[in-house]
Amino acid sequence: METENRESQGLAGGQREVDNGPEESMEDWFKRGVGDIEEGEVVRGRVVEVRDSEVLVDIGYKSEGTIAIEEFRHAGTLPKVGEEIEVYLESKEDSEGLIVLSKDKADKIKVWDAISKSHDSGTPVEGKVVEVVKGGLSVDVGVRAFLPGSQVDLRPVKNLASMLGQIIRAKVIKLNRRRGNVVLSRRAVLEEEREEKRKHTLSVLSEGMVLTGAVKNITDYGAFIDLGGIDGLLHVTDMSWGRVGHPSEIFQIGDQVEVVVLHFDRETGRVSLGYKQKSSDPWAIVDARFPVGAKVQGRVVSLTNYGAFIELEPGVEGLVHVSEMSWTRRVRHPSKIVNVGDMVDVLVLDVNKATKRISLGMKQVEADPWATIDERYKPGERVQGKVRNLTDFGAFVELEPGVDGLLHISDMSWTRNIGHPSELLKKGQPIETQILNVDKDNKRISLGIKQIQPDPWESVTQRYPMGSRVTGKIVRLTDFGAFVELEPGVDGLLHVSQMSHRPIAAPSDLVNVGDELTLLVIRVDPNERRIGLSLKDVAATITEEPSQAEGRGRGKGRKRRGGDDFEDEEE
């Protein structure tokens, strides 16, 4: 216990090493003898023999002292015969009359003395990080020392385990030799180093100079670069001649970056930095690199409602307006044509160096299919196509890639009143149509289906002359009458006033949908596509014919306007 207390306290008052200075010779040292040396002190001795289990050391006493060989193996090297070493005198005589020495304890005392000197003078010690402990790190500086997490670096270190195995320099900020406690601060050393660097940087810093720094922090508006004790701001607008969405697209924390000092205020210590300024502005020669009419390739970097921005080279972008994307399609949004990251071929339409704007075109890379449209499609021709899209007013039919024609709802049927194109067509359906009109200037082609078949109304006056009797089926009732289908696509109207000689409140009082009737044609208008029918008059004509025949044989028959009742008059 006494020996342990001596060791922890610097061995009872320190390392009384009986050191008379470098002038003392080894002979004088041996002559001085061990009588002046106390137990618990560090003395010098000479290795006289190295055995398998121990080392014999002569410290000038009547007998040699022994040190276990393991103490040297811990240090990694074995001593050589004749080598001078420092040892700790534990006992002048043990039970066998031998001097008991320790190399480990001598080394520890030397370490504690060195740590104490560092603590008193404020000089850093060097050690190896060996373990992550609660609240910080354990550092081997000859003894175990504690490095609090707050003192590891200038900024909090999230992953302390990343420090394991590193050799660091730190200041001793607390020391309790009795308890064997040592507290370190690496931050204090880094702060001193940073201050030294800052002074040096301030002394040499000037506008226009190029220097290398480390990315310390990244924000939405830029990156802070550590130039050596002083931070400079590299604004996002000074990172590239081209478009930068966020500084993290170019830099990461810890990156070594070569920058140009744009502005330095010695009073405030603020430094503005530039990265793009290391190279010349590409817009200075953009008209030579990308002349009007040149076909170039670029990458889509951004999409807006009105177009797509194309990067032609780092720092140079051009705009393809939606109107310049396709000869044939009406592009509502550029995402219908291209995506960010796509490589596209474009034609340079205009270059403005002053405003740094380039107008590009995609459709100009290919021939305009409408330029020769009138040579391929002529009115009256029948063409095959595919229904590409349906709208309320008709259907767009793709005749060839990039060329659509409009099939208007009014040109789908001669006879049917179509409410929506979906009643006849489906998207993707193959269809045969007839070219009605080609408008090359406005890039429009009008198509028709009904024109393929003859118009049944053109000869309706021959098939349904005035006064003829027809048979039809009621297909629809309205408040004012009933529509009667005479043939597919040809309907006639039986007005409520033509149903009976007596008043009728509603057509359903007399007829129903599905009824087949024989009717009289009382009006035909092919231009208006209307046929007027009568039910009340058909009875009169049916009755009149036999009466006339009888009148020719027996006399005249007189028809009463009542409809069903006739009176015969004899001559």
Question: Are 298 and 244 contained in the same domain?
Answer: no
| Alpha-carbon gap, residue 167 to 181, rounded angstroms | 20
Tens of pLDDT, residues 541-556: 554 444 443 443 333 3
- The answer to whether position 55 is within a domain reads yes
Residue by residue, what is the 3-state secondary structure of 526-561?
CCCCEEEEECHHHHHHHHHHHHHHHHHHCCCEEECC
Q: Which residue has the higher pLDDT, 115 or 78?
A: 115
pLDDT > 50? residue 19 = no
- The answer to whether position 567 is within a domain reads no
Question: Are 353 and 415 contained in the same domain?
Answer: no
pLDDT given at position 348: 93
- The answer to whether position 550 is within a domain reads no
What are the tokens at 297? 């390739």
Reported as a pLDDT band with limits 50, 70 and 90, residue 204 is confident
pLDDT > 60? residue 47 = yes
- The answer to whether position 568 is within a domain reads no
Question: Are 11 and 102 contained in the same domain?
Answer: yes
Q: Mean per-residue pLDDT for 216-225?
A: 91
Cβ count within 10 A of residue 239: 21
Question: Are 307 and 261 contained in the same domain?
Answer: no
Question: Are 467 and 384 contained in the same domain?
Answer: no
- Structurally, the chain folds into a number of domains equal to 6
pLDDT > 60? residue 559 = no
> Dihedral of CA 19/23/29/32: which sign?
negative
Question: Are 299 and 254 contained in the same domain?
Answer: no
- Beta-bridge partners for 313: 316
Counting every residue written for the chain, the total comes to 571
| Alpha-carbon gap, residue 460 to 415, rounded angstroms | 12
Residue with tokens 């004749």: 82
- The answer to whether position 557 is within a domain reads no
Question: Are 12 and 102 contained in the same domain?
Answer: yes
Q: Mean per-residue pLDDT for 107-117?
A: 80
Q: Mean per-residue pLDDT for 285-307?
A: 90
Tens of pLDDT, residues 358-376: 999 998 888 778 778 888 8
| Alpha-carbon gap, residue 118 to 109, rounded angstroms | 14
Task: Give the CATH number for residue 358.
Answer: 2.40.50.140
| Alpha-carbon gap, residue 520 to 527, rounded angstroms | 20
One-letter amino acid of 39: E
pLDDT averaged over the chain? 80
Q: Mean per-residue pLDDT for 78-85?
A: 76
CA 40 distance to own-chain centroid:
71
Reported as a pLDDT band with limits 50, 70 and 90, residue 408 is very high
Instruction: Please say which residue of 251, 278, 305 terminates a domain.
Output: 278
Q: Which pTM does this prediction carry?
A: 0.41
- Beta-bridge partners for 484: 474, 492
**Ramachandran class of 165: left when φ > 0, alpha when ψ lies in -120 to 50, beta otherwise:** left
Cβ count within 10 A of residue 92: 19
What are the tokens at 81? 């015969």
Q: Could you list the residue range(s) of the whole structural domain that residue 53 is in? A: 2-110
Vertex 248, ends 213 and 240: CA angle to 5°? 70
Tens of pLDDT, residues 414-469: 767 778 888 888 998 999 999 999 988 888 899 998 888 777 777 788 888 988 99
* φ/ψ of residue 539, rounded to 5: -65, -35
One-letter amino acid of 227: L
Q: Which residue has the higher pLDDT, 20 or 343?
A: 343
> Does residue 26 contact residue 44 with C-beta atoms inside 8 Å?
no
pLDDT > 80? residue 570 = no
Q: Mean per-residue pLDDT for 489-518?
A: 88
Q: Mean per-residue pLDDT for 511-517?
A: 90
Q: Which residue has the higher pLDDT, 186 or 62?
A: 186
Strands 181-185 and 167-176: antiparallel
| Alpha-carbon gap, residue 377 to 374, rounded angstroms | 5
Least confident of 1-10, 175-184, 229-238, 296-305: 1-10
Question: Are 15 and 98 contained in the same domain?
Answer: yes
Question: Are 421 and 473 contained in the same domain?
Answer: no
Question: Are 21 and 93 contained in the same domain?
Answer: yes
- The answer to whether position 553 is within a domain reads no
Percent of the chain with pLDDT over 70: 83
Tens of pLDDT, residues 309-318: 999 988 888 9
Instruction: Please say which residue of 75, 110, 145 terminates a domain.
Output: 110
3-class DSSP state for residue 408?
Answer: strand
Instruction: Please say which residue of 335, 365, 395 terminates a domain.
Output: 365
CA 281 distance to own-chain centroid:
28
Q: Mean per-residue pLDDT for 333-358?
A: 91
- The answer to whether position 462 is within a domain reads yes
Q: Which residue has the higher pLDDT, 277 or 562?
A: 277
Question: Are 134 and 161 contained in the same domain?
Answer: yes
> Does residue 101 contact residue 59 with C-beta atoms inside 8 Å?
yes
- The answer to whether position 86 is within a domain reads yes
